[in-house]
Every structure is written in structure tokens, then in C-alpha cells.
Amino acid sequence: MEKRIRLDGKYSLTTDTYNWVLRYEEFSEVLDEKTNEIKTVRSSWESYHGTLQFAINKYCDSVLKRSDSVDDLIIKLQELSLKIDRLGNSFRLQNKL
């Protein structure tokens, strides 16, 4: 069974034999102009990284690029810092058990 670390509602981390895999998945509703019905569309991608640090850097870069303003950027930086601290603490606890 694949172990998935949920980073937020859209991003998660997994591993394969050689890499850390950053996964993005988002669902949105769009209006189909032909049928005039609302349809759910899935957007997703994966990126492969040799180290956890590179995967986290990609995650931070992807989240920060969605910022709309300087204030939004600062808030996201603070949130990311807390998430990374919690992730690091989680790994330290797992390795002690």
C-alpha cells in the first residue's frame, strides 16, 4: 500500500524506489457550453525529486506562485513554514519509534 503524506487539500507526497513524488490534484466545476451543464473537471500532475528538500521546494514554489498580492504571499510563506516544521517533527517522531 502506498504511503501518502497529505500536505494540504491539493498536494501530497509519496515515494517510489528512487524519488520523492509531489502530486497535485484539484477538482473544479465548469460550465459545459454545449450542454449548459456543470461538469467536474480534474486537474493533476506529478513531479519527481531526488530528495525531500527538492520536493518541498517545488511544493513551496507552486503554492507561492498562486499568490495574488504581497499580503497573500506573506500569509502563504508563514503557513508553509508551519507546515514544513510539522512535517519535520512528524518524520523525527516516526524515526524514533
pLDDT at 97: 46
The total number of structural domains that make up the chain? 1
Q: What is the pLDDT of residue 89?
A: 73
3-state helix, strand, coil in the chain (%, to 5): 40, 35, 25
- Give residues with Cβ within 8 angstroms of 2, minimum separation 6: 14
DSSP summary character for residue 10: S
pLDDT interval class at 85 (50, 70, 90): confident
What would the pLDDT profile of 13-58 be if each residue is shown by its tens digit? 999 999 999 999 999 999 988 888 999 999 999 999 999 889 999 9
15, 42, 43 from 37: Cα distances, Å: 38, 16, 19
Q: Average pLDDT over the chain, rounded to whole?
A: 88
pLDDT, position 96: 54
